[in-house]
Amino acid sequence: MTLDAVTKITPMGVMILALLSEGDMHPYEMARLLRLRRDDRLMKITNGTLYHSVARLLEQGLIAEVGVDREGNRPERTTYTVTPVGSDVVLDWVRRELPSAEGSTKFRVALAEAHNLDREEVIDLLRIRQVALEEEYGLHAFGISEARAKGVPLQFLLEIERQQALLDAEVEWMRSLITRLEADEIPWGSAGFDDSDRYRAQRKAAQQ
């Protein structure tokens, strides 16, 4: 796996590859399933963006066509499958983005797909992010303290204060999450997934 392949993949591309790891799908099903699962809360999902991402993944060899079908008067639908390289890209992308304190969208997608990694690896990666967030919080706290000491009007510090509050909440949540993972309070991986009627109903609804 080349670093270039991992760095070029977008959060949308990762979500598509993760979907295809569940089974072969056509883009229309992918779009409906993402919306049914409310994954559109992570980023704006348009049909244009999704189809463009599918084309890029196909060009990169991360997915492959496995068939074309037509139902009634509907347009032809091409079904895709994830390639072994595509599966590896998802794992490597999550490994890169999960510990990073940069980019909220990328982290949210990485966190949503963290279940693809072993629990212990996820804990180690989250600890790296926790340290980075604590350092960033310390810098914000120091900056605010220095600004106040210099008499900077509070109205100019509102954005910094907000960011400090968000970082404080994020650090506390991260500590709690790591503790829960260490204590096996969160079922993980395939052992923690119930192939329920609700999941099957979602897949069926997305295929309509």
What does pLDDT average to over the chain? 87
Per-residue model confidence as pLDDT tens digits over 109-165? 999 999 999 999 999 999 999 999 999 999 988 889 998 999 999 899 899 889 899
pLDDT recorded at residue 45: 87
Per-residue model confidence as pLDDT tens digits over 21-69? 989 999 989 998 998 888 888 888 888 999 999 999 999 999 999 988 8
pLDDT recorded at residue 201: 61
Q: Where are the domains of the chain?
A: 3-113, 118-190
81/67 Cα distance (integer angstroms): 10
DSSP readout, 6-70?
A: HHH--HHHHHHHHHHTTS-B-HHHHHHHHHHTTGGGTS---HHHHHHHHHHHHHTTSEEEEEEE-
The CA R_g of the chain, rounded to the nearest whole Å, is: 21
142/148 Cα distance (integer angstroms): 10
For a pLDDT cut of 90, what percent of the chain falls above it?
58
Instruction: Provide the angle, in degrees to the nearest 10, between the axes of the packed helices 11-20 and 27-36.
Output: 100
- How does residue 185 score in pLDDT terms, banded at 50, 70 and 90? very high
134 — phi, psi (to 5°)?
Answer: -65, -40
CATH number of the domain at 3-113, please? 1.10.10.10
pLDDT recorded at residue 2: 53
Is residue 183 pLDDT above 90, yes or no?
A: yes
pLDDT recorded at residue 179: 97
Average pLDDT of the segment spanning 165-178:
94
The more confidently predicted of residues 32 and 6 is 32
